[in-house]
């Protein structure tokens, strides 16, 4: 796992910590105060969001073959839900 760059809010010092500390806390090497390590979504999360977009488009495309308006509605609602999930990460 790659290193994470951490910015100390107390002394403005920039330092790296191992990626395994994602979401934890570290001690700043400069001022020795506790600094939270922000966590972000794992890469697999973005793979799953991409698969969700693909699934929505595939399903709405299949529906659109029989009923174009219904397929468009499903695509808009489905992509809206996937977009909301991506933004909330």
Q: pLDDT digit of tens for each residue in the chain (89 aa)?
A: 678 899 999 999 999 999 888 889 999 999 999 999 987 667 788 888 889 899 999 999 899 899 999 989 999 998 888 888 888 76
Whether residues 14 and 32 fall in one domain: yes
Question: Residue 28, Cβ neighbours under 10 Å: how many?
Answer: 19
SS3 15: strand
Q: Is residue 28 a contact partner of residue 8, using CB atoms and an 8 Å limit? A: yes
Domain count, the chain: 2
Q: What is the distance between the alpha carbons of residues 36 and 8, in angstroms, rounded to a whole number? A: 9
Whether residues 20 and 47 fall in one domain: no
Q: What is the distance between the alpha carbons of residues 36 and 32, in angstroms, rounded to a whole number? A: 13
Whether residues 58 and 75 fall in one domain: yes
Element (H, E) at 4: strand 4-7
Whether residues 77 and 48 fall in one domain: yes
Domain residue limits at 56: 43-87
Whether residues 49 and 23 fall in one domain: no
Whether residues 28 and 47 fall in one domain: no
């Amino acid at each position: 796992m790659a290193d994470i760059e951490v910015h100390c809010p107390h002394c403005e010092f920039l330092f790296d910590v191992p990626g395994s500390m994602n979401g934890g806390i570290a001690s700043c090497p400069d001022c020795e105060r506790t600094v939270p390590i922000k966590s972000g979504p794992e890469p697999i999360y973005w793979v799953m969001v991409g698969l969700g977009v693909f699934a929505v488009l595939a399903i709405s495309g299949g529906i659109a073959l029989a009923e174009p308006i219904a397929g468009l509605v499903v695509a808009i609602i489905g992509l809206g839900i996937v977009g909301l999930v991506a933004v909330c990460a």
